[in-house]
Amino acid sequence: MASKAAYKRLTKEYVNMQKEPPPFVWAVPDEKNILTWNYIIRGPPDSLFAGGEYHGVLMFPSEYPFKPPGIKMYTPSGRFQPDKKICFSMSDFHPGSWNPAWSVATILTGLLSFMLSDELTTGSVTSSDSDKRVYAARSHAWNLSQRKFKEAFSDFCTPELRDLPNMGEKERGKVVTPDPTPSASTLPPQLSHVTDAIVAESTPQSSAVRASQGGEKPKGTGTGAGWAEAWRQVIWEKWRWGLLIALAVVVSRVSTSN
């Protein structure tokens, strides 16, 4: 079971993932267990994995963000052993190098970078460049045959490969229209009841909106009310300081007479 800190952190990270998805990666938490996230990595166009779609899972400990996740990739890639834990600096193989400031987006970006390298480690395999290209070409069809993929990413179960929210256009200098802020209806059921509060905290006008929803009039609305409140504050400040000065004078005179 997720701790309160892990639950809040992972919920906020999913909101951030929707607002600013990193290039070539996407991830969603499992509807029954927020500590388990399914992810998709798309092969960048200038790599051996171009056109590939790679499904895997992040397995967060209840102590997250203070401990790193376990990481697996299910889709055959020619780079990692399918359904085996992958060892790299952001995984649970290296708790000593883990940084609590790292997020789901950071981890998946790091995993993509590691995937594009030739470094061999636990969970990796060796294959030829041509094999990697063949795996990439077959990856989407393979994913469509897998129950885990269909349950996690029903929107991506289309005959033709569908782009992720961020396919690196912005990074390559292309103009991209940002998606609107996610609402609770776009989140898994277990996250929707806390998402509105998290989104509201990051919205500049949230305090006024919350006040109006709760029947409370936002402070400073209305010209007359704003000026009256300002004058009351000025008068009170002058009286407060006057009283303090008078009290200090009285205390000084009493002390001198003694």
Q: Which are the catalytic amino acids? A: 87
Helix (H, G, I), strand (E, B) or coil at 58: strand
Name the E strands within the chain.
25-29, 36-42, 53-59, 70-73
CB 38 within 8 A of CB 200: no
**CA separation for the pair 175, 225 (Å, rounded):** 45
Q: Closest Cα partner for 11 from 196, 166, 203?
A: 196
Q: What is the DSSP letter of 121?
A: -
CB crowding 158-168: b at 16 or more within 10 Å, else e:
eeeeeebbbbb
Residue 171: CB atoms within 10 A of its CB come to 13
Given a contact cutoff of 8 angstroms between Cβ atoms, the answer to whether 99 and 73 are in contact is no
